């Protein structure tokens, strides 16, 4: 449903993805591209950008329902909490993946890095994306219906996903350096994080939606 | 909770007033004793000199931070569990989290003051430091969530879930940060320092500090609980007064 709205409005395509690209450009301004700093810190910049953009995606995901009593509609839809949670989280995840593909291509082309070992890199990205989408959706519904939602969600979400940034960045670095053995523990950590928060989200989404 | 016959405080205090007062005096007395031992009773550290005396505050403060967040998680879980659901647990969780955030900040500040003379820096990217900083921000967010007005039950549910999420996240943060600092650079110099054996008066002072801070924690918890309860009571009365005013305006 969220993806259908996205198909009609193209907020992600026209606003969130360009936002990510601008942030990547700003990093180049801030860090002086000539000295090779960009290449060394590219994974970190990439994931910081994804996290910032994910705040927008989450905000959008729950902004959709803020008007016209759409949340009541959702509550009355007869779908149970876990299903609704999975639906919304999947929608956020798909949008983030689209963003990541564009950003990764940009990082490779513009920052001039090479992605060597693709398998751990892709798995780490998938697990990190699911983790961010799950926690984002969870905090999104937690703050839904609150007037200060836009400022509250970042304060709550960013410390919780700090391990995702850490893990995904290290996994990318290892993959870029061509040392997959260094990446696997991080992929495992990201997977645990994703599973854990998907489970919590499925349990908590229903009760939280009732109160929102 | 309070069955001592004082009608004013019904349900708004955690401990009986006499017990609370006793706890307060005990906490104060033990803090004075701790100060005496910490400043003069314990011998000067051979390596770190007087700076080491900060440990008598830093370690108990860190202990209280963990204790407080544990109590918050416990309170939240008890609130969420239908059979034990009661406003008491929501208030305990909120009061405890506030104390925890204060003591986490205190831990960071004291550690920083100690780190400057001993390590030569105010801050190091040591696993323990980073984890504590993330912990601080996790619960700062929780307190921000608590401040948002909502129907009591809705707010309690929301906060209880947020507290449990934060609690679950702490070990993940801990692991990831530990890996980060060990996979990439081998054991920083000061990692093992806290494991150094201490003896006699120094050990006594440290343990006594933990005891004194624990007393302070429970005293503060009781006071904060009381304030929260009074706050809620006042809000409720204001709502009732506003309703009465409206009704009065309509009927007259």
Any bridge partners for residue B45, and if so which?
A: B49
Nearest to A208 among B140, B161, B183 (CB): B161
pLDDT tier for residue B136 given thresholds of 50, 70 and 90: very high
Residue A90 corresponds to which tokens in the numbers above? 């999947």
Helix/strand/coil (H/E/C) assignment for every residue in chain B = CCCCCCCCCCCCCCCCHHHHHHHHHHHHHHHHHHHHHHHHHCCCECCCEHHHHHHHHHHHHHHHHHHHHHHHHHHHHHHHCHHHCCHHHHHHHHHHHHHHHHHHHHHHHHHHHHHHHHHCCCCCCCHHHHHHHHHHHHHHHHHHHHCCCCCHHHHHHHHHHHHHHHHHHHHHHHHHHHHHHHHCCCCCHHHHHHHCCCCHHHHHHHHHHHHHHHHHHHHHHHHHHHHHHHHHHHHHHHHHHHHHHHHHHHHC
* B205-231 residue pLDDT tens: 888 888 888 999 999 998 888 888 888
Q: Is residue B72 a contact partner of residue B37, using CB atoms and an 8 Å limit?
A: no
Q: What are phi and psi of B99, to 5 degrees?
A: -65, -40
User: Is A195 near chain B, with CB under 8 Å?
Assistant: no
User: Is A199 near chain B, with CB under 8 Å?
Assistant: no
Instruction: Tell me the shortest Cα–Cα distance from A99 to chain B, in angstroms.
Output: 25
CB contact under 8 A, B176 and A167: yes
What is the model's pLDDT at position A165? 92
Whole-number Å distance between alpha carbons of B235 and B174 = 39
Residue A12 DSSP label? I
Instruction: Tell me the shortest Cα–Cα distance from B158 to chain A, in angstroms.
Output: 6
**Does residue B195 surpass a pLDDT of 60?**
no
The A residues from 82 to 111 touching B (CB cutoff 8 Å) are none
What is the model's pLDDT at position B39? 82
**Does residue B5 surpass a pLDDT of 60?**
no
Any bridge partners for residue B49, and if so which?
A: B45
Helix/strand/coil (H/E/C) assignment for every residue in A141-198 = HHHCCCCCHHHHHHHHHHHHCHHHHHHHHHHHHHHHCCCHHHHHHHHHHHHHHHHHHH
Mean pLDDT along residues B4-9: 40
Mean pLDDT along residues A128-136: 92
* A65-103 residue pLDDT tens: 766 566 666 666 666 778 888 888 888 898 899 999 999
Q: What are phi and psi of B45, to 5 degrees?
A: -70, 140
Calculate what percentage of chain B has a pLDDT beyond 90.
11
User: pLDDT averaged over chain B?
Assistant: 81
**Does residue B105 surpass a pLDDT of 90?**
yes
Q: Which residue of A has its CA nearest to B169?
A: A160
CB contact under 8 A, B145 and A152: yes
Instruction: Tell me the shortest Cα–Cα distance from B59 to chain A, in angstroms.
Output: 24
* B69-82 residue pLDDT tens: 999 999 999 988 88
Residues of A with Cβ-Cβ distance to B104 under 8 angstroms: none
Q: Which residue of B has its CA nearest to A193?
A: B172
**Does residue B10 surpass a pLDDT of 60?**
no
CB contact under 8 A, A166 and B157: no
Model-wide pTM > 0.90: no
């Amino acid at each position: 449903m969220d993806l259908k709205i996205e198909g009609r409005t193209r907020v992600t395509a026209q606003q969130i993805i360009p936002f990510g690209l601008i942030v990547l450009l700003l990093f180049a301004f801030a860090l002086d591209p000539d000295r090779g700093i960009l290449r060394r810190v590219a994974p970190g910049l990439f994931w910081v950008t994804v996290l910032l953009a994910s705040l927008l995606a989450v905000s959008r995901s729950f902004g959709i329902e803020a008007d016209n009593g759409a949340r009541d509609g959702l509550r009355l839809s007869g779908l149970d909490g876990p299903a609704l949670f999975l639906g919304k989280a999947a929608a956020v995840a798909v949008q983030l993946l689209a963003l990541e593909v564009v950003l990764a291509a940009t990082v490779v082309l513009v920052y001039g890095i090479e992605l060597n070992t693709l398998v751990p890199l892709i798995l780490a990205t998938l697990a990190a994306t699911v983790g961010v989408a799950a926690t984002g959706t969870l905090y999104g519904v937690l703050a839904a219906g609150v007037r200060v939602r836009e400022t509250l969600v970042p304060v709550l979400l960013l410390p919780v996903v700090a391990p995702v940034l850490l893990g995904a960045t290290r996994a990318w670095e290892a993959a870029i350096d061509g040392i997959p053995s260094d990446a696997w523990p991080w992929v495992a950590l990201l997977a645990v994080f994703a599973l854990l928060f998907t489970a919590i989200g499925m349990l908590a989404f229903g009760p939280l939606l009732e109160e929102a | 909770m309070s069955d001592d016959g004082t009608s004013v405080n019904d349900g708004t205090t955690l401990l009986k007033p006499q017990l609370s007062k006793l706890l307060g005096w005990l906490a104060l007395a033990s803090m004075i004793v701790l100060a005496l031992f910490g400043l003069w009773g314990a011998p000067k550290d051979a390596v770190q000199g007087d700076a080491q005396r900060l440990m008598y505050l830093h370690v108990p403060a860190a202990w209280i931070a963990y204790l407080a967040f544990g109590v918050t998680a416990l309170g939240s879980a008890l609130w969420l569990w239908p059979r034990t659901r009661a406003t008491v647990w929501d208030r305990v969780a909120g009061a405890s989290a506030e104390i925890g955030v204060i003591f986490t900040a205190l831990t960071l500040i004291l550690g920083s003051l100690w780190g400057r003379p001993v390590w030569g820096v105010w801050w190091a990217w040591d696993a323990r430091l980073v984890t504590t900083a993330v912990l601080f921000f996790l619960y700062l967010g929780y307190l921000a969530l608590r401040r948002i007005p909502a129907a009591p039950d809705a707010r309690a549910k929301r906060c209880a879930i947020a507290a449990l999420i934060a609690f679950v996240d702490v070990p993940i943060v801990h692991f990831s940060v530990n890996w980060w600092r060990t996979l990439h650079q081998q054991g920083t110099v000061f990692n093992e320092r806290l494991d150094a054996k201490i003896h006699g008066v120094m050990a006594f002072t440290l343990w006594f500090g933990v005891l004194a801070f624990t007393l302070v924690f429970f005293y503060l918890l009781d006071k904060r609980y009381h304030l929260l309860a009074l706050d809620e009571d006042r809000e409720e009365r204001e709502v009732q007064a506003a309703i009465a005013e409206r009704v009065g305006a309509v009927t007259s």
